[in-house]
Amino acid sequence: MANPPPRKCIFCGGVGNRSGEHLVANWVRHVIPRTTDYHEHRSIRLASNMSPTDLVKETVKFKQGNLGNQTYSRVCKRCNSGWMKRIQDDVIPTLTPLIKGEWHDMNVIDANRIALWTAVTATVIAMSQDTCGVTTQDRQYFFKNQGVPPKWTVWIGRISGVPEISYCNRVLAVRSQFQSPQIQTEPNTLVTTIEIGQVLLHCVSAPYEDLLPNPFSYGWNMGLLPIHPWGGDILPWQALPILSYFSREHRNVRDFLYAAMVLGHDISVL
Question: Judged by CB, which is closer to Zn ion: 27, or 83?
Answer: 83
Please give the Cα distance from 4 to 135 (Å, whole number): 9
Q: Does position 55 bind Zn ion by CB under 5 A? A: no
In order, the DSSP letters of 26-52 are GGGGGTS----SEEEEEEE---TT--G
Q: Does position 9 bind Zn ion by CB under 5 A? A: yes
Among 247, 268, 241, smallest CA distance to 257 is for 268
With contact defined as beta carbons under 8 Å apart, do 38 and 63 qualify? yes
Using DSSP's 3-state secondary structure scheme, residue 58 falls into strand
Give the list of residues 6+ apart from residue 48 with CB closer than 8 angstroms, or none. 263
With contact defined as beta carbons under 8 Å apart, do 55 and 263 qualify? no
Q: Does position 204 bind Zn ion by CB under 5 A? A: no
Please give the Cα distance from 28 to 184 (Å, whole number): 37
Stretch of 37-45, 48-56, 77-85, 167-175 contacting Zn ion, by CB under 5 A: 77-85
CB of 129 to Zn ion, least distance (A): 19
For the chain, the straight-line distance linking the first and the last C-alpha, in angstroms and rounded, comes to 32
Please give the Cα distance from 119 to 146 (Å, whole number): 11
Stretch of 10-18, 54-62, 190-198, 225-233 contacting Zn ion, by CB under 5 A: 10-18
The DSSP 8-state label assigned to residue 105 in this structure reads -
Question: Judged by CB, which is closer to Zn ion: 144, or 248?
Answer: 144
Stretch of 11-19, 25-33, 98-106, 244-252 contacting Zn ion, by CB under 5 A: 11-19
Q: Does position 84 bind Zn ion by CB under 5 A? A: no
Work out which of 23, 24, 76, 224 binds Zn ion, going by CB under 5 A. 76
The DSSP 8-state label assigned to residue 209 in this structure reads G
Instruction: Give residue 184's identity as a one-letter amino acid code.
Output: Q
Please give the Cα distance from 108 to 204 (Å, whole number): 19
Stretch of 39-47, 74-82, 108-116, 197-205 contacting Zn ion, by CB under 5 A: 74-82
Q: If binding means CB under 5 A, how many residues of this protein chain bind Zn ion?
A: 6
Work out which of 24, 28, 79, 199 binds Zn ion, going by CB under 5 A. 79
Q: Does position 127 bind Zn ion by CB under 5 A? A: no
CA distance readout (Å), 91 to 86, 94, 117, 135, 138: 9, 5, 7, 24, 21
CB of 8 to Zn ion, least distance (A): 8
Stretch of 69-77, 81-89, 174-182, 200-208 contacting Zn ion, by CB under 5 A: 69-77
CB of 186 to Zn ion, least distance (A): 19
Stretch of 4-12, 178-186, 203-211, 262-270 contacting Zn ion, by CB under 5 A: 4-12
> Interface mask (CB under 5 A) for Zn ion, residues 12-51, using x and -?
x-x-------------------------------------
Q: Does position 87 bind Zn ion by CB under 5 A? A: no
Q: Which residues bind Zn ion (CB under 5 A)?
A: 9, 11-12, 14, 76, 79
